[in-house]
Chains A and B, each alone.
Chain A
Amino acid sequence: MPATYEPIATTTLTSSQSTVDFTGISQSYTDLFLICSMLADNTTGRYAQIRVGNGSIDTGSNYSRTEMNGDGTGAGSSRDPNMSFIYTNPQISDWVSTTNPFILTANFQNYSNTTTFKTVLGRYNNSGTRLGAYVGLWRSTSAINQIRVFTSAQSFASGSTFTLYGIKAA
């Protein structure tokens, strides 16, 4: 039987860098699933952020997101419209550990549809600070063939892993 859920690409960093790009993404799948296990290169706070694009990464103010979270003492929710990226953790201090991985997942459902805007649905957590879920929007009907994961400041440390899977419906 043809593979339905298959790895497209993966990388494990061997040095610090602030951006990881997946390019030339095949349009033959139904959905994409991204999973990242990221370490900070120092204890300065940062956000984990996502951009997408078709042919090139869209850096315009075409993104937004709604999220909810819990930090062990309470639960909350926030929203950010008209952004130039989808950012996940709501507080920059959520990710300051060089040892505890910041886990980020993202579902890009019907990413190749050229009629709908693109919804990104995922979760994030960093033990010791916060966990949460988010839904983001890229206001474009273009198919996604590029995905960027990047930090607001500082870098991903060596050992951080990023894997993209394709899911194909019958």
Chain B
Amino acid sequence: MTLQTFTLGTFAQQGVAAVSYESIATVSVGAGGTSTVTFSSIPATYAHLQLRVIARSNNAGNIIYGAASKANNDSGSNYTYHFLYGNGSSAQAIAATSQTSLNIVTQVGNGFTSNVFAANVIDILDYANTNKYKTFRILSGADGNGSGQIQFNSALWMSTSAINSISFTGGDTFLQYSHFALYGIKVA
């Protein structure tokens, strides 16, 4: 079976509309860890954002849990979220309104299976639109070979302000090799 290998630029050469997916900023947590990750001065020049995260914290628990997140450092009760998750036994749903932080990044505690980091793909649609509240769509989870959880999240920041910063503070420390990458998606 022969794989066809694309030459860089093939899509553009075929006349496909240019869709730019660009790396904005990256945080790779080093030795010693960090308690806060912040993306600031996010330009308003993209249509959408995507965050791709793997995370593990120094919490001693064998747990999968969320890291508190804020948009534009808003600490008001302006966030809501819904979860649909599977824990290996059943599918469950939870929701919360009037929260003071987002719950968009999932991490595992340091008591979870060794060497495992939770994975997250977070889409932030129309983040710079000043006529809409901001919706976050998340696929995330972790499997620990006999434990774990997979989840769909939807979160809302009830503000029409363009998002120019996103911060993550777990309350605990993100461990080395946790990785946060922010991308911008621009349609010509």
Q: A residues touching B (Cβ–Cβ < 8 Å)?
A: 1, 3-11, 13, 17, 19-23, 30-31, 64-70, 75-79, 81-82, 107, 109-110, 113, 115-117, 119-121, 123, 133-137, 139, 141, 167-170
Contacts and interface: CB of A to CB of B under 8 A. Distances in A.
Smallest CB-CB A-B distances: 4 pairs: A68-B86, A77-B86, A79-B88, A135-B141
Contacts, number: 172
6 contacts: A6-B6, A19-B1, A21-B1, A82-B146, A110-B54, A116-B115
B21 A5 contact: yes
A77, A78, A168, most chain B CB atoms within 10 A: A77
Interface string B15-26: 000001111111
B185 to A, nearest CB: 9
Determine chain B's interface SS by DSSP, over half rule. Answer: strand
Contact of A64 (B54, B87, B145): B145
Contacts of B116: 116-117, 119, 137
Interface in B105-153: 113-121, 139-152
B66 to A, nearest CB: 15
Contacts of B6: 6-10
